[in-house]
Amino acid sequence: MSGDLLQTKCDVCTETAHEPYIECGECETNLCTKCFASGKEVGSHKNDHKYAVRKNDIPLFDNCNWSAKEECKLLSALSTYGYGNWEDISKSVHTRSKLECQEHYKKYYIENVQYEELKLLPETKQSLFPKPLIPYLYSSDVSTNPPRNNQSDPHLAGYNAYRSEFELSYDNYAESLFNIEDEYSEDDDNLMDALKIALANALNTRLRERQRRYKIIQNHGLIKPNKLISWLQKYNPTLTRYKCERLTSFMQFMTGMQFDAFMESLSLESELMQRITRLGESRKIGIKTLYSANLYKQLKVENDLMVKEQKYVTTIMTKKFNKQSPTKNKIFEKDRKMKRPTLPLEIIDMPGFQVLTDSEKMLCSNLRLIPKNYLEIKYQLVAENGKKGFLRLMDARKIVKIDVNKTRKIYDYLVTEGYIISQIK
């Protein structure tokens, strides 16, 4: 499939050998049709050598009307524009429509691959039936062999390292069920026996619950709860801290490995949603190719740097002008006191962005508030409103420990959207 796309040159005149061209069958020499017709020789090549005519207007696949030249253009356009941008690919191929390019690639390069060299993934047992990946290698060494260097460690869930047991067990007074008086008559023997059996059954139930909780602590490495907290923090970019805390209640229904895989799958889902959101935002501003996206990022970085430099230069020039113009000092002093409007925050790549509505996205961007922080504030205010039936601005400011002006705007937005009620009607 050589030709114009690969720029094959004639070894005699060094000009581009446009197809069809001649390839020597006895030595590695390529000649254009003009040099071949005149019988020119170069190096070890003689004009009586066996030769072959190379051209790319022949089909490569059986029962296919696509030429080799069109195949080269299709593959080159795919590497440039990426899979799925069939409109740009069809413009690069010229001779085929958008639907023809899509159907041809699907048929001959994915579903019915006729040549082994075109198979991107070999059909092995591993590729057809891959083993599930373990996202997080869980280790229960801390639970089975906890540290013994500090007896009073407050992060050991009540575990006494020196005695290898818990200082205060769950339901610590379960055994006190048998603290009953032995003063009873012989007529009450049957009644006391039944009572002791009932107490033994109750004790067994409570001990089973204690054992179940110990097993959860061991399976999930909860003897050191700070280890669990630090492990969950790695999901903050994709899952919010509030969601992670709520999901920990499912640990009692799973093993350590199952819960690790559960959290990892949710994190991957959230990351995929963020990527889809970024793709949607890119499509809104007219970006349709991977090359355009990379170019947009590069230009955006340069533009932000330029804006920052312009602000810095403007500030320096303003200070110099103020020193040289004493009569204008009063005017500029008033301008300094006025708070300058801040630029909106870019929140597309931040955690929690994909669950926001369009109005909430605008609110967080204008307030320069991270989406996951806004969601936590919204949850707290809505929960407090659900308890009381209403929520005043003064109470909202006590709950939310941020700038009072931002709290006021969030409060007004939630009231306007109907999430909370400002006062009892």
Condensed to tens digits (0 to 9), the pLDDT of residues 6-64 reads 567 888 888 877 777 778 877 878 888 888 888 888 888 887 888 777 777 777 787 88
Average pLDDT over residues 392-399: 86
Give the CA radius of gyration of the chain: 37
Torsion of CA 165, 167, 168, 174, to 10 degrees: 60
What is the CATH number that goes with domain 353-417? 1.10.10.10
Count the residues in the chain: 425
Per the CB < 8 A criterion, the answer to whether 285 and 292 are in contact is: no
Q: In what order do the strands lie in the sheet with 30-31?
A: 30-31, 21-24, 51-54
User: What's the CA gap between 37 and 22, in Å, rounded?
Assistant: 10
User: What's the CA gap between 155 and 416, in Å, rounded?
Assistant: 45
Q: How far is CA 383 from CA 109, 259, 379, in A?
A: 55, 28, 6
pLDDT-based confidence at residue 150 (cuts at 50, 70, 90): very low
Structure tokens at 115: 């040549």
**pLDDT tens digit sequence for 318-357:** 777 777 665 555 555 555 555 555 677 878 777 777 778 8
**Percent of the chain at pLDDT above 70?**
73
pLDDT greater than 70 at residue 71:
yes
User: What's the CA gap between 273 and 132, in Å, rounded?
Assistant: 22
User: What's the CA gap between 175 and 172, in Å, rounded?
Assistant: 8
Per the CB < 8 A criterion, the answer to whether 17 and 42 are in contact is: no
User: What's the CA gap between 74 and 106, in Å, rounded?
Assistant: 12
User: What's the CA gap between 298 and 205, in Å, rounded?
Assistant: 65
Name residue, tokens 């026996």: 193
Q: Which fold has domain 68-128?
A: Arc Repressor Mutant, subunit A (1.10.10)
User: What's the CA gap between 425 and 421, in Å, rounded?
Assistant: 9
H/E element holding 115? none
pLDDT at 181: 54
How do the domains of the chain map onto residue ranges? 4-54, 68-128, 141-262, 293-337, 353-417
Average pLDDT over residues 179-194: 64
pLDDT greater than 80 at residue 297:
yes
CA angle 133, 138, 139 (to 5 degrees): 145
Helix axes 98-106, 68-81, angle to 10 degrees: 100
Calculate the average pLDDT of the chain: 76
pLDDT at 326: 56
pLDDT at 83: 78
Average pLDDT over residues 221-229: 64
pLDDT-based confidence at residue 2 (cuts at 50, 70, 90): very low
| Of 90 and 57, the one with more pLDDT | 90
Q: Which CATH class is domain 4-54?
A: alpha beta
| Paired residues of 54 in beta bridges | 21
pLDDT at 327: 54
| Of 328 and 402, the one with more pLDDT | 402
**pLDDT tens digit sequence for 193-224:** 787 788 888 888 888 887 877 777 766 666 66
In degrees and rounded to multiples of 5, residue 166 shows phi and psi of: -85, 135
Per the CB < 8 A criterion, the answer to whether 243 and 208 are in contact is: no
H/E element holding 127? helix 125-128
Average pLDDT over residues 411-415: 90
Q: Same CATH topology for 4-54 and 353-417? A: no
pLDDT greater than 80 at residue 376:
yes
Least confident of 4-13, 235-244, 375-384: 4-13
User: What's the CA gap between 79 and 92, in Å, rounded?
Assistant: 12
User: What's the CA gap between 367 and 339, in Å, rounded?
Assistant: 14
Average pLDDT over residues 373-400: 86
